[in-house]
Structure 1
């Protein structure tokens, strides 16, 4: 009799589990992905690996991305319009190459973090909507810097900002006041209930970020090994009340967002042949950048330190449709930690490369939350080609060869 009761209880438990799992999966597909067709999640994936999925993107590409003007499918739009942009600090130390996920970003900012070593702020939104079969698909993720916060702030009052720690809590007397990135994150409200967009790895579960010291085939030092799952980061943001709307204010993330103007690319016969190259610091040739222009494809192919710069996930060379060089005043080292400060607001000189041609002009950003805008020599706002855009922030006075 006792054995029969035990069997009944086991069967009941299994039924409840299967029912709850089915309801959860159905709810996710209904609320999380709308009517978009999902080819994955893949059967048999371990729960710890998080939400791997890939959309069917075979439809017409007629949906414009507000970040870089590129066209995507309706299925992709149905995903990204329920989210807000995710900005991620990705390092560029030689030990970190090849990085993962940069090719999926819509916009990438590059500036020196310390000692002439550059770091990226990759902005994921439209290009990442199709998903990835790699569970930890972006990285290596590194620490926060104040000037990158100012660029992240262009993507909503409370952007999603993924990093690993950073420079300076508010009470850290060893850090220069304007370099205290962690302090500023708190002051901006990015850690408040209903607007908690700060994605510091130290406050995230293993399903969102983990260390992979041998990912690239060679054992790397710990600081070069953190990779995150952008799908899970967006899920965590939604749980915190940050979807396309902000729980704290009820506003859409893009209520005050100003998109850059875009244009169709030049015909083959109207394209130039200009390829820019430059250094951030003359003492660090491993971080020199060359953008080789491919006239047939109308793209710029990136070389870093004289070598083709590739995305680890695709093994393809990184490319850009538009390369913007933004000259900014550099201040530093400003404290014992050798932190730097870069001018992000105000105005300065800029050079834009697209269609194999060059446009000399200026940049302007009125406040932390304002969009950086770019103007030609006549004062007209520059219209960008549609596709991935790289913003290369060089110290004012540096030379660009082309």
Structure 2
């Protein structure tokens, strides 16, 4: 057949019409119809994590003192942090993004399974930064998030009333009402800073990726939500949640910053640290090993190296805090837990191969948690990531 200009134009029209019809009837992997542009935005060519590698690291992160480039500082100064809930089920490992968090909080979510809340600000300014798997909120994490001066809070659902369909009565204990607490804070509303997929957040900020662990690796639906931080910051900007508060002051001016610098602790040798959240839950046993060449602790959990999926490297941090808190639960049929993180208590601080006993105090929901030595002097953190594990009072921490 000879392809005349008229035939070529006809074939082209047929192709585009067919493609449009196919798109109209086939749902996206997120479970609903979205624009093709929204689906492909996250697949664009990017500069990646190495985009600032060659720039001098001269600018200290206000959250932990680690040095970054001027380009990264320019980006974080125009934004406020994203606090993302990341799960730790053994079938969801390895996670994405924990290695780029400035601060990580860790506590049991339910059934002895721990969950993380990463604070992403300075270390996540690469345009490929993403976090996964994003999971549900817990009230004690919300109480900690509240000390970050109205950050972007990223999650997928959370503890709530869970009313019984027949009786209308709540099936959850009131102490577990995380979503209701987000409403009280003023975060959970249309166009708010509560970024939840069962609220008003979707693609491209968050979407499901059933192949996040690789082609051919089957994972359950609950382990598939990925948060794309660059798109989250763009959405936050659209909603008015940038570096400025309604009163014109900067976001950072409303946060009590921890001290960072040369750590001057003199304690007991702590080259190796080990602890459990719950007894007989070995998959969640944590042990840290100090590497003097990089002056950071290497994290292991369940007796294997804890890797970040995006870097394929073991997670390392120079600062470890163990915070002992009162544990209550399971509170209800959903196995919700509650940890008292508003108040005061004791803990341990590890850095530079040394460990000391500490105290912690948080006077109100929006007040900053302050860590001090036993004499009341505020801890000076070594520059770099800070990992905070919240353990039940009475748990043992073994170190040597």
TM-score (norm 1): 0.83
- RMSD over equivalenced CA pairs, Å: 2.1
Give the corresponding residue for 1:369: 366
Distance of 2:339 and 2:44 partners within structure 1: 37
CA contact (8 A) 1:110 1:393 kept: yes
Distance of 1:70 and 1:271 partners within structure 2: 25
| Aligned residue pair count | 350
Distance of 1:334 and 1:343 partners within structure 2: 14
Give the corresponding residue for 1:159: 151
Give the corresponding residue for 1:59: 55
1:148 maps onto 2:147 in alignment: no
1:228 maps onto 2:227 in alignment: yes
Distance of 2:188 and 2:44 partners within structure 1: 24
Q: Give the CA deviation at 1:242.
A: 0.3
CA contact (8 A) 2:107 2:389 kept: yes
- Trace 1:93-104 onto structure 2 (pairs within 5 A): 93-104=89-100
Distance of 2:100 and 2:342 partners within structure 1: 27
Provide structure 2 residue ranges, at least 5 long, that are not aligned to the other structure: 1-38, 164-168
Q: Give the CA deviation at 1:251.
A: 3.7
Cα distance change of structure 1 residues 206 and 192 upon mapping to structure 2, 3 Å threshold? closer
CA contact (8 A) 1:266 1:355 kept: no
- Trace 1:75-90 onto structure 2 (pairs within 5 A): 75-90=71-86
Cα distance change of structure 1 residues 358 and 200 upon mapping to structure 2, 3 Å threshold? same
1:69-108: CA deviations, max 9, x gaps? 1111111100000000100000000011000111010000
Identify the range of structure 1 (114-123 vs 213-222) with the bigger mean alpha-carbon deviation. 213-222
Distance of 2:283 and 2:223 partners within structure 1: 17
- Trace 1:319-398 onto structure 2 (pairs within 5 A): 319-398=316-395
1:296 maps onto 2:290 in alignment: no
Give the corresponding residue for 1:201: 197
- Extract structure 1 runs of 4+ deviating beyond 3 A: 48-57, 169-172, 270-273
Give the corresponding residue for 2:308: 311
Q: Provide the secondary structure at the position in 2 that maps to 1:401.
A: strand
Distance of 1:390 and 1:131 partners within structure 2: 24
Distance of 1:261 and 1:313 partners within structure 2: 30
CA contact (8 A) 2:322 2:391 kept: yes
Give the corresponding residue for 1:125: 121
Q: Give the CA deviation at 1:179.
A: 0.9
Q: Provide the secondary structure at the position in 1 that maps to 2:272.
A: coil
Distance of 1:371 and 1:57 partners within structure 2: 33
Distance of 2:264 and 2:363 partners within structure 1: 31
Q: Give the CA deviation at 1:342.
A: 0.2
1:139 maps onto 2:139 in alignment: no
Of 90, 101, 113, 1:105 maps to: 101
CA contact (8 A) 1:87 1:152 kept: yes
Distance of 2:170 and 2:144 partners within structure 1: 25
Give the corresponding residue for 1:258: 256
Distance of 1:331 and 1:236 partners within structure 2: 36
- Trace 1:10-49 onto structure 2 (pairs within 5 A): 46-47=40-41, 49=43
CA contact (8 A) 1:271 1:355 kept: no
Distance of 2:119 and 2:207 partners within structure 1: 20
Provide structure 1 residue ranges, at least 5 long, that are not aligned to the other structure: 1-44
Give the corresponding residue for 1:38: none
CA contact (8 A) 1:323 1:352 kept: yes
Distance of 2:208 and 2:162 partners within structure 1: 28
CA contact (8 A) 2:274 2:288 kept: yes
Q: Provide the secondary structure at the position in 2 that maps to 1:165.
A: coil
Identify the range of structure 1 (380-389 vs 271-280) with the bigger mean alpha-carbon deviation. 271-280
Q: Give the CA deviation at 1:245.
A: 1.4
Give the corresponding residue for 2:280: 283
